Amino acid sequence: MEWMEILDQLEAGTLRSANKVDGVWQANKEVKEGILAAFKAGELKEFSDEAFSGFVDKHNLSPRKFSPEDKVRMVPGGSSVRRGAHVASGVIIMPPAYINVGAFVDEGTMVDSHALVGSCAQIGKNVHLSAGVQIGGVLEPIGLAPVVIEDNAFIGAGSVIVEGKQVLERAVIAPGVVLSKGVPVYDCVNERVLAADEPIPADAIVVPGSRPVNDKLSWAKERGLTLNCALIVKYRDEKSEASLELEQFLR
């Protein structure tokens, strides 16, 4: 499949850069190769359109435009959705926000101010990406699955999720949490440590935490220094449901 057709299908949502197969998210290598081929084929161009005047990018990866028929609310003020990204009906994009090539943002999701949805990231239905959330992109290595946020998850302000970490449905990530393969996640409810490539479980509520440095860093240990971690402190219940209920009239 040629890169142009791949970009067209990505925008339409008929092709995705990652798919869930037998319960496991896997990268679509052909799609990632197509995106990289588009970058290689692209030539630098200054955009003359009034909305993008003065910007320079690859000629074949120009920003997308939306009409009322798309049922996407992209509020004025500096947001951009790159060619090859899918934005479904009912999505709201508050300024400034950026959605990169290969990303998939499903129905009813809120992308709040200063939020980034990186290349090939997969965002489910009715997700809330709060202000300042950074969802990392993963184009290379080709076989690495991207960051995935499943349906009805809530990602709190200023959270950073990178390196292909995955957040399963209805999970809640509190403000300021950093999730990467190098940041351990402690499930305080089930008394275990998640593996580096293990997703955040469905319904988990995750808050930022800290942990003592190990014995190898004796100088730091003597001074009471700590390292970043994330803590699962509970799983969603009726009380948390009430506090997370989204106001439908905003849509």
Q: Report the C-alpha gap between 156 and 175 in whole angstroms.
A: 4
Span 28-40, average pLDDT = 96
Q: How many residues does the chain have?
A: 251
**pLDDT the model gives residue 199:** 97
Span 88-115, average pLDDT = 98
Q: Report the C-alpha gap between 47 and 92 in whole angstroms.
A: 25
Span 90-107, average pLDDT = 98
**pLDDT the model gives residue 216:** 82
Write the pLDDT tens digit of every residue in 237-250.
877 666 666 555 55
Q: Find out whether the peptide bond into 141 is cis, omega within 30 degrees of 0.
A: yes
Q: Indicate the average pLDDT of the chain.
A: 93
Write the pLDDT tens digit of every residue in 125-140.
999 999 999 999 988 8
**pLDDT the model gives residue 187:** 98
Which of 76-85, 127-136, 161-170, 217-226 has the least mean pLDDT? 217-226
Q: Report the C-alpha gap between 166 and 150 in whole angstroms.
A: 8
Write the pLDDT tens digit of every residue in 52-70.
778 899 999 999 999 999 9
Span 74-82, average pLDDT = 95
pLDDT at 82 over 80: yes
Q: Edge-to-edge strand order for the sheet containing 80-81?
A: 80-81, 98-99, 116-117, 134-135, 160-161, 178-179
The tokens of 198 are what? 């293990």
**pLDDT the model gives residue 24:** 92
The reported pTM is 0.93
**pLDDT the model gives residue 250:** 56
DSSP string across 180-207: -TTS-EEETTTTEE--TTPPBPTTEEEE
**CA triplet 107, 109, 112: central angle to 5 degrees?**
150
pLDDT at 156 over 90: yes
DSSP 8-state class, residue 68 = G
Give percent of the chain above pLDDT 90: 82
- 3-state DSSP assignment of residue 172: strand
Cα atoms found within 13 Å of the Cα of residue 34, Cβ hemisphere only: 23
Span 193-218, average pLDDT = 94
**pLDDT the model gives residue 108:** 97
**pLDDT the model gives residue 105:** 98
Span 144-158, average pLDDT = 96
pLDDT at 192 over 90: yes
**pLDDT the model gives residue 243:** 64
**pLDDT the model gives residue 220:** 87
Q: Report the C-alpha gap between 150 and 165 in whole angstroms.
A: 11
Q: Which domains does the chain have, with CATH numbers?
A: 3-183 (2.160.10.10)
Closest-CA residue to 211 (of 188, 223, 227, 198): 227
